[in-house]
Structure 1
Amino acid sequence: MGPPSSAPAAAITAGLPSSLAPPRPLPSTLLGVCDEMLEVQRERALAYAAFNDGFKFYLENWAQGPYRSLLAGLTHQFQILSQRALALESALRQESAEGETDTTLNRPDVADIIRSIQNAERKKLELTLALQSMKSAVEQKSFSWQHGDGGIGGEHTCSSHHHHSSVGHSHDGNGACAADHASHASLPEEPTEADIKGALKQSYIEMEACIAAINDGIAELQEIRIDLIE
């Protein structure tokens, strides 16, 4: 039987915006900025859905080729989305030119909202990569306590984390760490079952906090948008 096709990866990412599309011009109004940032978040949600679906597919068949292809595309997508958000934040921090008193883009308060979303998104990506790395290692039975005979090699453990490292290094444009770095930073080289369970629990707690911060920022932008169109 031949290696699994890369078709599942293509199907998973079929709904994502094309990364070959030309850069969008910056909006000239605050309403446009809010709309654009909300669109960025919508596209991020699509990317994460593809990310989660791709990881589930990987756990079912351990086909690294399609998974690496998926991660390469999603990494690029996250970078583009982050660059768009950073450009919007920068535009909102521009001082008005002398004599221009009617500008609508000198809004550092709204820029701060975008910054808070970006910070939470960066942490969310780090946590997602770390969680996938730990789950992958557990599913592959990479730890000696999963075998009962003390017999797994350190080489096996390393390989279970390696498939994420390229994604971590090609981060979302805002400083996300590699998954293997994130997980090894919080776990010993041969973690116990309690270590793994504790790290997973803590990661889920931090993930919930990130999602709450992102949702709060989105809600603030939506309120500003409503005020602008009323």
Structure 2
Amino acid sequence: MWQLFQFPLCPFSRKVRLVLGEKGVPHELVRENPWEKRDEFIDMNPAGETPVIVEVDSKTILIGSQPIVEYFEEEVDKAPMLDGSARARAEIRRLTGFFDERLYGDVVAPLMHERMMKRLVSREAPDTGALRQAMRVANNYIDYLDYLLDTRRWLAGNSLSLADFTAAAHLSVIDYLGALDWRGHQQTKDWYSVMKSRPCFAPLLGERMEGIAPPSHYDKVDF
């Protein structure tokens, strides 16, 4: 049995959870707050970051969302995440990296710092200026998704791929934190509704982070 060390608002953990759910890989969730820097967790991953997945019997340890999903992509044939020609796979990897690096760094990380870390860890009030800036930048990224979906069925092309699950994982955290304005973004909203309707998404939509309530539309497929 696999154990996934994660916490509810970690977008990289969510990315792995969506892929494992889509591929039908049995796993147990283990709550890990990386800011606590538990010795046992640091021993597994010296970077102290989630996600980490462990196969209990073999003691196999996989670290980081991209190595984890690529491992299961190679091991499990169901629901391919990196399919198609070399050019198609390159585009999937480009967008996956773009969302994991740029969307996370520009929007998700600042929001998590202001609305989660300050509330749960440092007990500080959020910086409203930083929140407004993150929300403005989030709108720019939704504009880009609209652009992609103008000519593509899915974000990276004609097939559902890791790019879609990666973007959806990050957007789900932004949406949970109440920082997405869906007005004027019907194409991306329709795509996200389809992603939310997949069975692998249901556990994420039903989960809550203590002390932080999502907006009322968060867990609704039609919103």
Q: Return the TM-score normalized by structure 1.
A: 0.33
Q: Return the TM-score normalized by structure 2.
A: 0.34
Q: Which has the larger radius of gyration?
A: 1
More helix per residue? 1
More strand per residue? 2
